[in-house]
Structure 1
């Protein structure tokens, strides 16, 4: 129970020691998986979707934590609706969406933070394939927030026997790691679809890491974050599993399918497609080198074939392997 004399941080501290009310925005596979985890921990969970019976106001009323797991294209609109609902500052806002806004090129957490400058905004990101989590298989994730107490509070909401949570104070880095790797997963899917072998896949993932770090640190993330669960860990999971929608996009393109056909077959969002387009715009604006992501962008546009994308990467100028590039994202 909140009292007039408690500070916001003191209220956050109480969330670690009791059951809370959680509003999950988005009833897709990821939102449903996170709602399931919280429910098994005896928290009160309300799930909202545009097609559901519960209104957004009803879903978030009295919620101590609001978690957004909606697709990137719906984030800005939902944030606008939430602004009209007078969300108290003792409510922690969490985003589990991995993407970039086409209009502003912002990440979801930055959109939330701009709209709610006095709220704690956290990011939940890690190597988390929703089907495996729903099956009760072991997994780990990162809860990142500049407010450490808020991060720890959300950490306790989702921590369980089969779902280990780690806290971090680098929400932007955690978010960018989970976002940018989706583009790389498309590239790896192409590699697998062309049957190029384990050597090529390993080389691609290894060279992709400094590319992601280069972009992520330029935009404000901390280098070490990209070597953790929300960076390298998420990349490995997404780039090596047929459960990954982005991987399947790349695989389908390598098979000669059109992007439209692949997305129709998936029946769900593959955020890496939109991210590739927005990332290309950011890289041009900020003059960041993204050789792998650029080939994915050209492939998605239909400007080159899968074989031409691979050839372009293999024909790049010879250079020494720079370990500082990997360690520092330069």
Structure 2
């Protein structure tokens, strides 16, 4: 699927970068709303230059590892001064700890950048099950424009003016989703999982606010909403990583057979790099990273979390 066109003359021209499940799901929504959609991937026949030609909106759904490279390539191409960039990638750059939106904004400072994030499991959206998401930007006009593009009876879209918080919510919850998978893999029960998810949200808020995000954003769809979805669904790749680690599989074995990218694996290391730099406590993320590195077993990680010094909740 490389070049899809609708018949509506007033439709927007949308280029979607990335032909994975998420990119294709968003393409299907935009197409159903009578927009012109082109999908580009490294393995496709459509060149990047042709893909972005005359685009009104360029939406990036590539994995975190490809964001900087693709953005640099587009920098050298002629695009309209009115293009809105949308990022639907959840991750952190390993070298700079920047978010995808920060990378796009740095490379295209005169263009609005919109973050799209929420409890959006691709397979459910492809099945046309109802879902909601958030589009966030420092430009209210740009956010509202993207809201109109993707809103449908099956996909409710909210706007937000805290793109950093929206983006960090979707990114950081992947680390907690790995821990949730471990919890279920060890059959620790509902009480343990509720405690894990709640304290995981506290870690997300703690470092997110330090990062510059608004605390209330983490209690919305892109934070708590996405956290609940990925911590409770076997459709989540990050959850699957944790679950299978608890079953005794190695990380290499899991990632070899996992369809798509579990961004939480790389995010955890980058997140802790920033947390250590600024002395921010992230005990759950710390144990997740130790499990991923094979330094500790899931059972021992649980024990260390439970035996931490007593402290107030707030």
Q: TM-score range by the shorter chain?
A: over 0.9
Partner of 1:59: 51
TM-score, scaled relative to structure 2? 0.96
Q: Whole-Å Cα distance in 1 between the matches of residues 279 and 78 of structure 2?
A: 40
Matches within 5 A, 1:1-330: 18-322=10-314
Q: Distance in 1 between matches of 2:311 and 2:78?
A: 55
SS state at 2:195 partner: helix
Which structure 2 residue ranges, 5 or more long, are not aligned?
1-8
SS of aligned partner of 2:313: coil
> How many Å apart are 1:18 and its aligned residue?
4.3
Q: Quote how far apart the aligned CAs of 1:267 are.
A: 2.8
Give 5+ residue unaligned stretches, structure 1.
1-16, 323-330
- Superposition TM-score, scaled by structure 1 size: 0.92
- Give the CA deviation at 1:321: 1.9
Deviation of the 1:87 alpha carbon: 2.5
**Equivalent-residue separation in structure 1 for 2:239 and 2:81 (angstroms):** 39
Matches of 2:207 and 2:249, distance apart in 1: 30
Once residues 312 and 29 of structure 1 are traced to their aligned partners in structure 2, the CA distance between those partners, rounded to angstroms, is 37
Specify the SS of the correspondent of 2:86.
strand
Which whole-Å CA distance do the structure 2 matches of 1:187 and 1:311 have between them? Answer: 13
Partner SS, residue 128 of structure 1: coil
In the TM superposition, residue 319 of structure 1 has moved relative to its aligned partner by 1.6
Quick check: 214-223 or 81-90, which moved more? 81-90
Q: Where does structure 1 differ by over 3 angstroms across 4 or more consecutive aligned residues? A: none
Question: Contact 2:185/2:247 (CA < 8 Å) preserved in 1?
Answer: yes
Cα RMSD after superposing both structures: 1.0
Q: In structure 2, what is the Cα distance between the partners aligned to 1:302 and 1:88?
A: 48
CA distance in 2, matches of 1:321, 1:289: 14
Provide the rounded CA distance (Å) in 1 between the counterparts of 2:282 and 2:31: 41
